[in-house]
Structure 1
Amino acid sequence: MKITLTGATGFLGSALTAHLRSEGHDLRILSRNPAGRAGYFAWDPQSGQPPEASLAGADAVVHLAGEPVAQRWSPSVKAAIRRSRVEGTRHLVEALTTLSPRPQVLVSASATGYYGDRGAEVLSEVSKPGRGFLPDTCREWEATADLARALGIRVVKLRTGVVLGRGGGALAKMLPPFRAGIGGPLAGGRQWMSWIHVQDMVRLIGWAVSNQEVQGPINCVSPNPVTNKDFTRILAAALHRPAFLPVPAFALKLLYGEMAAVLTESQRVMPVAALDQGFQFQRPELGEALSDLL
């Protein structure tokens, strides 16, 4: 297939690019800094529509681009997070209106942040959205992607949890303190974490692209979420290190400001849609996933 991919230079995008190329797909990459590389096109999601040549003839579009959430939030950062996702997606969908033929499918990123802080409630794709900055952003983000449905394009929305992989993402931030033996649960550790091995994540995206029956929201998480306390214990065991230094909520607030809520909110998310439609996870258990990655 000919696939146009945005956000390809980030942690997840790089892994997805390698996976799709290994599957024999022909990729066109939209990037802020294409640096003259073959198959790369310049695009700033917030500035306007991508170049027509990057989309012409594409069978599928996978849209991952967006301002990183994992940074200290200020009013300007929050505005950039929302704008990069909502306006960037709007610009992309607007560009699709001019194409003939149009791509068969738009696979657009979203996040389990859609659900907000839900305690131990078991969440599926039909669960209602939460309240707050991230749920509101995700809801608007997904609604913008859904505009492509009016163009006859199948739309898949990836509600992604914590992606665990080598060389980047959340695990890269966790490893230094844990390897030093000073890791510990966050804010008591009772909050649920919905995670996924990066290889299952890229396989899930490829499955969503090629499976014509898949549409709507897909929870991109392992079928075995864990509490932060259990995650801490399993990670420490995988590293053969102690993990007895808890990080209180006020310390997270001092370090990260409002963004600390992302670390302390509880989301017990299940991949009901993927399982119901036959997707098989290769690394569904956290211990096995971390052993593979470490």
Structure 2
Amino acid sequence: MDDARRSRERSRVAVAGASGLIGGALVRSLTADGHEVVRLVRHRPRSADEVRWDPEAGRVDTAGLTGCDAVVNLAGAGVGDHRWTDDYKTRIRSSRVHGTTALAEAVASMEQPPRVFLNGSAIGFYGETGDHPVDEEAPAGEGFLPSVCQEWEAAAAPARHAGVRTVFARTGLVVARGGGAWGRLFPLFRAGLGGRLGDGSQYWSFVSLHDEVAALRHLLDRADLSGPFNLTAPRPVTNREVTVAMGRVLHRPTPFAVPAPVLRVVLGEMAGDVLGSARVLPARLLESGFRFAFPEIDGAIRAALLGGGAGAGRGGETA
């Protein structure tokens, strides 16, 4: 679909997780292009653009979704927000699985359902891959995050069985100042306290916030795309390369290194995610014609510093 045709077509899109890093950027992008966005909220709606839902109870106000061309689910407790206690691991899993189940069942129950259900997921699906590159053809890994991702995606089955085009956005580490891993890294590196984690050999499959939003828009627009898509830049980099790039772009020294044993003491089980290596490639996204605006780590870091992605439009898209 060309840009001229897109500009004439205005859609109504429902977004769960609209207050998050990615959801907020997606909402700003859609709104800037003239699309109507409704936000799923847990409180009583305060405006016409809010629709109430209770993911834990499995309740969604389907009347508020009437006329939506797409439903996007990006809701879920932050993986890196807290130490992984048993209670918080339960919250990570339930917030994703219950929310997806509620929305998928709501979509499936509608007399006129949306054309597409775009559900969040993560490259945690693949688990530890070492230096071995994987794409969407690879099987799920083992451990907590892979099991969460499998349940998360499986929960969308009601929408898919109802004939709604269902897409899974397996997102990597988003390079942005406003949250996620990089939201914590930027202050450290600016202060000259940044450094590699462990031996730095682990691969980080990153994506700029700008390209993340552009890819989501691409997946929403393309009626021929369904199933899982890795939202990661084409060339994953090691943590050591990230450290060097951060120092180079910010003009700061990077003398420090946090030993793996220290990370395990401080972070507990979550240290496995920080020290683990996931070399994930966006094979299906590239095959679909998507082009990254920031395929290299230096450019992604610079874009984040300039605020790139906060209102990202279609910058990376050619299809």
**1: distance between equivalents of 2:227 and 2:109?**
23
The CA distance in 2 between the partners of 1:187 and 1:166, in whole Å, is: 23
**In 2, Cα distance between equivalents of 1:54 and 1:69:** 29
More displaced, 223-232 or 162-171? 162-171
Secondary structure at the counterpart of residue 107 of structure 1: strand
Distance in 2, matches of 1:4 and 1:268, equals 32
- Over 3 Å counting, the alpha-carbon distance change for 1:75 and 1:237 in structure 2 is same
- Which of 40, 43, 62 is residue 52 of structure 1 equivalent to? 62
SS class of match (1:189): coil
User: Residue 254 of structure 1: CA displacement?
Assistant: 1.9
Aligned to 2:155: 144
- Greater mean alpha carbon deviation, residues 87-96 or residues 231-240: 87-96
Give the structure 2 partner of residue 200 of structure 1: 211
Partner of residue 11, structure 1:
21
CA distance in 2, matches of 1:225, 1:48: 37
Q: Which runs of 5+ in 2 are unaligned?
A: 1-10, 306-319
The one-letter code matched in structure 2 to 1:148 is A
- State the TM-score, normalizing by the size of structure 2: 0.89
Query: Does structure 1 retain, via aligned residues, the 8 Å contact 2:108–2:158?
Result: no
Match among 47, 66, 71 for residue 61 of structure 1: 71
Instruction: Name the SS of the counterpart of 2:150 in structure 1.
Output: helix
Task: Check if 1:107 corresponds to 2:121.
Answer: no
User: Is 2:58–2:101's contact at 8 Å kept on the other side of the alignment?
Assistant: no
Could you tell which deviates more after superposition, 44-53 or 121-130?
Answer: 44-53
Q: Which residue of 12, 25, 42 maps to 1:32?
A: 42
**Normalised TM-score (structure 1):** 0.97
**Aligned pair 1:257/2:268, yes or no?**
yes
Work out whether 1:180 is the aligned partner of 2:152.
Answer: no
Q: Are the aligned partners of 1:45 and 1:65 in contact in 2 as well (CA < 8 Å)?
A: no
- Which residue pairs with 2:6 in the alignment? none
How far apart, CA to CA, are the structure 2 residues paired with 1:219 and 1:109? 11
Change (3 A) 1:144 1:233: same
How much is the aligned-residue C-alpha RMSD, in angstroms?
1.2
2:87 maps to a residue whose letter is S
Q: Which amino acid is 2:73 matched to?
A: H
The answer on whether the counterparts of 1:96 and 1:102 sit within 8 Å (CA) in structure 2 is: yes
8 Å CA contact 1:156, 1:214 repeated in 2: yes
Distance in 2 (alpha carbons) for counterparts of 1:78 and 1:122 = 27
Contact 2:97 2:151 in 1 (8 A): yes
- C-alpha deviation, 1:43, in angstroms: 2.3
Distance 2:54 2:236 in 1: 35
Alpha-carbon displacement from aligned partner over 1:63-88 (angstroms, at most 9, x marks no partner): 00011111201111111111111111
Q: Which residues in structure 2 correspond to 1:74-89 (within 5 Å)?
A: 74-89=85-100
User: Quick one: which of 238, 258, 263 aligns to 2:249?
Assistant: 238
* Identical pairs, percent: 41
Point out where structure 1 has 5 or more consecutive residues left out of the alignment: none
Report the secondary structure of 1:185's partner residue. Answer: strand
Paired position in structure 2 for 1:98: 109
Structure 1 runs of 4+ with >3 Å offset: none
Question: What is the CA–CA distance in structure 2 between the aligned matches of 1:127 and 1:62, rounded to whole Å?
Answer: 25
